[in-house]
Structure formats: structure tokens, C-alpha cells
Amino acid sequence: MSKTPAPVDPAIFKAYDIRGTYPDQVNGEVAYQIGLALAAYLSPNSIAIGRDMRLSSGELFENISRGILDYGVDVIDLGLISTDGLYYAVGKFDFEGGVMITASHNPKQYNGFKICRKNAAPLSGQDGLNDILKAIQNNEHKKSPSRGNIVRKDIAEDYAAHCLSFIEPSKVKPFKVVIDAGNGMAGATLPPVLEKLPIDTVPLYFELDGSFPNHPASPLEIENLRDVQKAIADNQADFGAAFDGDADRMFLVDKRGHQVGGDMVTALVAKSLLTKHPGETILYNLICSRAVPELVEKMGGKAVRTRVGHALIKPLMKKYNAIFGGEHSGHFYFRENWFADSGLIAFLVCVELLSVENRPLHEMIQEIDPYVRSGEINSRVKSIPDRIERVAEAFGDGQQDRMDGLTVRYDDFWFNLRPSNTEPLLRLNAEAVNKNVLDSKVKQLLDIIRS
């Protein structure tokens, strides 16, 4: 008589991935059930699995692999890699599925799974993840009489060569660059690339350590960039870069210590690619600055506005055959990368652009960005729908749309208010032509949201 598996907390199944705290929500037993159900859902010959350096990732790898193998499906063990490395492997080697064991930028007590199918197409809540959850809850999946095999594959050199193919390394100038890997996977994926370039790297926290002894590997938060800022000043570096835990997101820091937002990196990459490939389509999510579509259109490209989130953007990249897409959160998608995101490729394209233009990063940003932004302001409220409707009524004279939450646009100001996909929060992002307008409007908005 087979044992009934322990229940899986449905809260770990998010809009874009599976993620929760270890070991209460995500553990070996949960990983095993996910592996068995995933193999049944995809029905592939093999699934590639990569993992980050989190302390629990090894155990989760052993157990999700056991579930996949028990269903009679082979496992391709990619070892310790970045999330964008996993996407590359699935696309390049034509694997029918891929799993990255990671909790991205979350604190050390978290872990989870980012899952994709053939051609690195992501599974999301609406496309696959909910089906896997239902199969687990209904105990539908059974072991196969024949067990799969596990094969080790090292993609480090292949992935480095792939990333470098997006630029002309001979054009790169010998910049001094501070790079903060945050004790995350960038510490493993960057060295094979950097050794091919004339960059003088000042490395911070390249040692893989899932306990994150120095700071959280989440460069979106400015407090996690303090070490980069100090190292830039101490070393008189030209600029800096910081990667998140699974190294798929990247942020730049200029020589004065100012964080360059993901939307401005989007603009820089778009500028470089449109110079080489005129008239192409660029996607940008609706949180990005107006400066992004303005630059794209000025350069003769086509700018397409999208919702937030990789599982939504990647299908749109294919639909529009877009050469590139960017998000304010530091995700950057490339057509020649199976429409998947890569922080490393974005970093290299920016380095090449800075080399070709031979101007400081802050000067290039000043040229394309006349606006001021609030950054993401989170509010915990009792009723998210009620607060959104109150705001919509108060700003009824603006141009409104509901593509993703509520966006309201005026000539001198715009904002987006949307629920978090992962937490019970309302996220406010605003932009204006000057600080006075921004401060006044943000205060008015927060008074309504938090009243």
C-alpha cells in the first residue's frame, strides 16, 4: 500500500515560479512531488536541472531529480549555474524542459524552482504551474516501471562564448569596473567571460555562499549597493555592476555612486542594438520611464509596452519578434538568447556601448533621461481593490488604463499602482518632469492608499 504524500502548501506556487521558505514550505519531499508531477506534465525524454549556491539547493536537487527519474525521465545535471545559464542550456541543446533551483534575490531562508519547457519557454501560474499543483494535490502521478538516468553536463565555457557573441570584444576599453556578485552565481559565471576582456575588475563577494554573509543578493534595493559605491570611490573605478543571487538580473552604478535603474539599462541596451539593427522592435514594461520609448522611437525603432513579469514578456518577445526587451526590475530579454533574459549579456552590451561612445556612464544617462522617479513604494493595505478604485476616482481626469493594475498618465506626470504577484502589497511607481511635481503627486497618492 503506497504512502499518501505530505500535503504541499499551494502558496508556494506563484505567478512566475515556485518559491517559499525552507524547510517548512519547500523541502525534499515537496521537491520530489514536484519532480514527479513535472515529468508527468511535460512527458519529455529529459529535463535539465541547474542550481544556485543556497544551502538547501543540493538537497532539493537530489529530490526533484529523484522524482523525475522515478517517472522514467532522464536528468541532465548542469551543476551550479545561473538562471540565465539554465535558459541557455535548454535552448542551445534542445532539452525538452529545464528547472533552476533558486529563490533568486530572496533572503537565505527561501528556495524554489524556476521551470521552463522546450526553447526556454517559461511555465507560469496560468501555463503549467497550476496544473502541476493540481496533479500533486490529487496524487495523480505514479512511478514508472523503468527509471531514468542522470548525466552530468558542464556548460560554463559554451555559455561564456555565447554571451561574448553579442559584442565585439576587441572594441571593449580597459575600464576599471567594480562587480558585486553578492556571493551569488555571478561569482561562477562571470570569470570565464571577464578573462576574455581587457577590463580591470575589482571583484566583490565572488565566493559562492548561500548564507549571504555580506549583504542580501538583491541589487534593486539601494542599501545593498553600498559596498559597490564605496569600492568605486576607493578604487576610482569607471563604474560598477551588481548581480542578484541567481545572476539573471543586473544593475549598474555610475562613478558618482548613483544606481542606474533597470529602465535606464533598458534604454542603453536598446540604443546599442538599434545602432546595429535599425528599425527593430523593443519591448519595455509599463513601469519603465517614458525615456525608454522616447529613445527607441527617436532611433527609428518600434517600442511596445507590456505588463510586468518574465512569463508574460517572453511570449510577447516571440509574438513581435522583438530583438530586445527590458524591465525596471533588471530583467533583460534577447531574441538571440531564445527570447530569454540574461543579466550578463546586458552587462556586456552596456560595456561595449560605453567603450564605443567613450563617455562616462552618468553623462550618457543624463542625455537620455530628463525625468525624476519615485522608485517602487510598497504599502500593505486591507483591501487592494478598494484602494485602487479610490485612486482611480481621485485621478479620473488623467488618461487611464488597466493593462497591469492602474496606470494614469498626464503630460507632466504618470504613475502605476499594481498588486504584488508575491506579497499582499500595493506597489506604486511614479515619474514626473521635476521633483516638485513628483513629491506633490506621490504625497497625494499615498494619502489615499494608506488612509
DSSP state letters, 316-330? HHHHHT-SEEE-TTS
Q: Are residues 248 and 140 part of one domain?
A: no
Calculate the alpha carbon distances from 118 to 86, 87, 192, 299 in Å. Answer: 12, 10, 26, 34
Q: Is residue 31 a part of any domain in this protein?
A: yes
Before 23, cis peptide (omega within 30)? yes
Q: What pLDDT is stored for residue 1 in this prediction?
A: 38
Q: Is residue 81 a part of any domain in this protein?
A: yes
Q: Are residues 365 and 380 part of one domain?
A: no
Helix (H) or strand (E) holding 232: helix 226-235
Q: Is residue 171 a part of any domain in this protein?
A: no
Q: What pLDDT is stored for residue 309 in this prediction?
A: 85
Q: Is residue 389 a part of any domain in this protein?
A: yes
Indicate which residues carry an active-site annotation: 104
Q: Is residue 141 a part of any domain in this protein?
A: yes
Domain count, the chain: 4
Neighbours of 171 (CB within 10 A): 11
Q: Are residues 364 and 395 part of one domain?
A: no
Nearest Cα residue to 241 out of 229, 226, 253: 253
Q: What pLDDT is stored for residue 45 in this prediction?
A: 97
Q: What pLDDT is stored for residue 164 in this prediction?
A: 98
Q: What pLDDT is stored for residue 4 in this prediction?
A: 66
* Residue that finishes a domain, picked among 325, 349, 370: 370
Look up cell 527519474; give the residue: 69
Q: Residue 174: which residues within 8 A CB-CB, separation 6 or more?
A: 198, 199, 200
Compute the distance between CA of residue 303 and CA of residue 285 in angstroms, rounded to an integer.
10
Q: Are residues 401 and 280 part of one domain?
A: no
Helix (H, G, I), strand (E, B) or coil at 20: strand
Q: Are residues 143 and 30 part of one domain?
A: yes
Look up cell 538583491; give the residue: 218
* Residue that finishes a domain, picked among 351, 370, 389: 370
Q: Is residue 77 a part of any domain in this protein?
A: yes
Whether the Cβ atoms of residue 95 and residue 172 lie closer than 8 Å to each other: no
Q: What is the CATH number of the domain that holds 111?
A: 3.40.120.10
Q: Are residues 43 and 150 part of one domain?
A: yes
Q: Are residues 348 and 386 part of one domain?
A: no
Whether the Cβ atoms of residue 371 and residue 289 lie closer than 8 Å to each other: yes
Q: What pLDDT is stored for residue 15 in this prediction?
A: 85
Q: Is residue 58 a part of any domain in this protein?
A: yes
Q: Are residues 141 and 45 part of one domain?
A: yes
Q: What is the CATH number of the domain that holds 396?
A: 3.30.310.50
Q: Are residues 314 and 301 part of one domain?
A: yes
Q: Are residues 278 and 413 part of one domain?
A: no
Q: Are residues 148 and 77 part of one domain?
A: yes
Enumerate residue ranges in the chain where pLDDT < 50: 1
Helix axes 361-368, 262-276, angle to 10 degrees: 90
Q: Is residue 5 a part of any domain in this protein?
A: no
Q: Are residues 361 and 377 part of one domain?
A: no
* Residue that finishes a domain, picked among 338, 370, 402: 370
For 19, the domain range is 10-154
Nearest Cα residue to 103 out of 28, 52, 42, 137: 52
